C-alpha cells in the first residue's frame, strides 16, 4: 500500500519520480576517457620514441623519422646501443653517484627545511616575519645568477679528511660529493611548503604538549611531523627530481669522472660523430629509475600535491 506524505500544512507532496540518467552521460564518460587517452599518448610520444630508438642503429632512426615506424620497434632491432653505452661511459658509476646524491639531498633536505619551517610557523621570536620574507624572496633569483659566487665560496670552505689514518682539515669542496649535496639541502620552496602546511595544524596541540613538559623538538618530532605526511611526500618528490637532473653545477664543480652524476654523462655522446642510438639508450637508462619511481608512487604524488596545503 502506497504511503502519501504531506507537508507541515497537510498538503500532499508530489509523488517522487524515478530518477533517470542524464542523456548523453555514458557518451560523455567514454569521450572523456578517449580524450584523456589521446592526450596521454601525445605526451608519451617522446618517451616511446626514445625507448624505441635505443634499439635501432643510427641510420634506421633517421630513415624512420618520416613515418609511424619511428614509434614502433620494427626493423633492425638489437641491444647493441646499450652495449655501446657501457663502452663509452661508466654508466653504473654515474647511476650510483646520482642515487646517492639524490637520496642524501632528499633526507637532509626534509630534516633541515622542516626544522626551519617549524621555527617560523610554530615559535614566536623577533624578526620571524623578516626572515620568512627573505626566504620567499630568494625564489625569484635564478640559480645561474649566484652559481659563480657559490663556486668561489665552495672552494674556500674547510672539510675534515683522513690522511694516513689521521684527521686533517683541508680547504676547498670542489671535486667532491659534498659540493653536490650540501649547497642544495636548504630550499626556499620546501621551507615555504612546510610553513604553509604547519600553519594549518592547530597550535592548541603545542600548548597542551608544553603544559605536559614537552620540548619544542619533541613537539616537532612527535606531533607536527607525523601529521605532515602529505607535505613531506611533496617535498621528497620535488627535491629528488632536481637533484637527479643536476647538470650545470656538477659540470662546474666536479672534474673527476668517478664523482660525476648521470646527467653529465650525456655530453660524452656529443663528439664529432654523435652516436644517437647510444645516446637514446643512455637516456633510457637514466629515465627508467625516475619513471619507475613515479609509477610506483603516482597515487601518493597526486594526493600529496592535492592536500599539501599549497594555495594559489
The predicted pLDDT at position 272 comes to 58
Mean pLDDT, range 220-249, rounded to an integer: 89
pLDDT surpassing 80 at residue 90? yes
- Between 30-34, 74-78, 150-154, 280-284, the lowest mean confidence (pLDDT) is in 30-34
Query: How far apart are the C-alpha atoms of 311 and 221, rounded to whole Å?
Result: 25
The predicted pLDDT at position 30 comes to 84
- Between 28-32, 242-246, 286-290, the lowest mean confidence (pLDDT) is in 28-32
How would residue 301 be classed by pLDDT, with cut points 50, 70 and 90? low
- Name every residue whose Cβ is closer than 8 Å to that of residue 238 and which is 6 or more positions away in sequence: 189, 190
The predicted pLDDT at position 294 comes to 75
How would residue 230 be classed by pLDDT, with cut points 50, 70 and 90? confident
**HEC string for the chain:** CCCCCECCCCCECCCCCCCCCCCCHHHHHHHHHHHHHHHHHHHHHHHHHHHHHCCCCHHHHHHCCCCHHHHCCCCCCCCHHHHHHHHHCCHHHHHHHHHHHHHHHHHHHHHHHHHHHHHHHHCCCCCHHHHHHHHHHHHHCCHHHHHHHHHHHHCCCEEEEEECCEEEEEECCCCCCHHHHHHHCCCHHHHHHHHHHHCCCCCHHHHHHHHCCCCHHHHHHHHHHHHCHHHHHHHHHHHHHHHHCCCHHHHHHCCCHHHCCCHHHHHHHCCCCCCHHHHHHHHHHHHHHHHHHHHHCHHHHHHHHHCCCCCC
The predicted pLDDT at position 31 comes to 79
Mean pLDDT, range 105-110, rounded to an integer: 95
Q: What are the chain's domains?
A: 83-296 (1.10.3720.10)
Query: How far apart are the C-alpha atoms of 117 and 119, rounded to whole Å?
Result: 5
Average pLDDT taken over every residue of the chain? 83
pLDDT surpassing 60 at residue 81? yes
| pLDDT cut 70: percent of the chain above it | 86
How would residue 296 be classed by pLDDT, with cut points 50, 70 and 90? confident
The predicted pLDDT at position 293 comes to 74
- Name every residue whose Cβ is closer than 8 Å to that of residue 6 and which is 6 or more positions away in sequence: 12, 13
Buried-state track 177-198, b at ≥16 Cβ within 10 A, e below 16: eebbbbbbbebbbbbbbbbbbb
The predicted pLDDT at position 304 comes to 60
- Between 123-132, 142-151, 161-170, the lowest mean confidence (pLDDT) is in 161-170
Mean pLDDT, range 201-208, rounded to an integer: 88
pLDDT surpassing 60 at residue 13? no
The predicted pLDDT at position 259 comes to 92
- Which position has the higher pLDDT, 237 or 118? 118
pTM to 2 decimals? 0.79
Query: How far apart are the C-alpha atoms of 110 and 193, rounded to whole Å?
Result: 11
Amino acid at each position: 500500500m502506497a504511503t502519501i506524505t504531506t507537508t507541515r500544512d497537510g498538503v500532499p507532496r508530489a509523488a517522487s519520480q524515478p530518477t533517470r540518467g542524464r542523456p548523453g552521460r555514458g557518451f560523455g564518460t567514454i569521450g572523456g576517457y578517449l580524450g584523456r587517452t589521446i592526450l596521454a599518448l601525445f605526451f608519451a610520444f617522446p618517451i616511446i620514441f626514445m625507448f624505441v630508438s635505443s634499439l635501432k642503429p643510427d641510420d634506421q632512426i633517421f630513415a624512420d623519422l618520416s613515418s609511424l615506424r619511428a614509434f614502433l620497434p620494427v626493423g633492425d632491432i638489437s641491444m647493441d646501443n646499450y652495449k655501446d653505452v657501457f663502452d663509452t661511459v661508466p654508466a653504473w658509476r654515474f647511476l650510483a653517484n646520482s642515487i646517492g646524491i639524490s637520496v642524501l639531498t632528499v633526507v637532509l633536505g626534509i630534516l633541515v627545511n622542516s626544522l626551519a619551517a617549524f621555527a617560523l610557523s610554530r615559535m614566536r621570536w623577533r624578526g620571524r616575519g623578516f626572515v620568512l620574507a627573505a626566504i620567499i624572496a630568494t625564489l625569484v633569483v635564478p640559480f645561474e645568477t649566484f652559481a659563480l659566487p657559490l663556486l668561489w665560496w665552495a672552494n674556500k670552505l674547510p672539510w675534515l679528511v683522513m690522511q694516513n689514518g689521521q684527521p686533517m682539515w683541508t680547504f676547498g669542496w670542489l671535486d667532491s660529493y659534498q659540493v653536490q649535496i650540501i649547497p642544495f639541502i636548504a630550499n626556499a620552496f620546501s621551507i615555504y611548503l612546510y610553513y604553509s602546511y604547519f600553519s594549518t595544524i592547530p597550535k592548541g596541540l603545542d600548548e597542551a604538549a608544553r603544559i605536559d613538559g614537552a620540548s619544542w623538538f619533541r613537539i616537532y618530532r612527535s606531533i607536527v611531523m607525523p601529521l605532515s605526511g602529505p607535505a613531506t611526500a611533496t617535498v621528497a618528490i620535488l627535491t629528488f627530481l632536481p637533484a637527479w637532473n643536476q647538470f650545470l653545477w656538477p659540470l662546474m664543480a666536479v672534474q673527476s669522472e668517478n664523482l660525476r652524476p648521470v646527467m653529465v654523462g650525456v655530453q660524452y655522446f656529443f663528439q664529432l660523430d654523435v652516436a644517437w642510438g647510444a645516446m637514446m639508450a643512455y637516456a633510457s637508462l637514466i629515465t627508467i629509475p625516475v619513471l619507475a619511481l613515479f609509477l610506483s608512487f603516482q597515487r601518493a604524488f597526486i594526493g600529496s600535491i592535492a592536500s599539501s596545503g599549497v594555495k594559489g
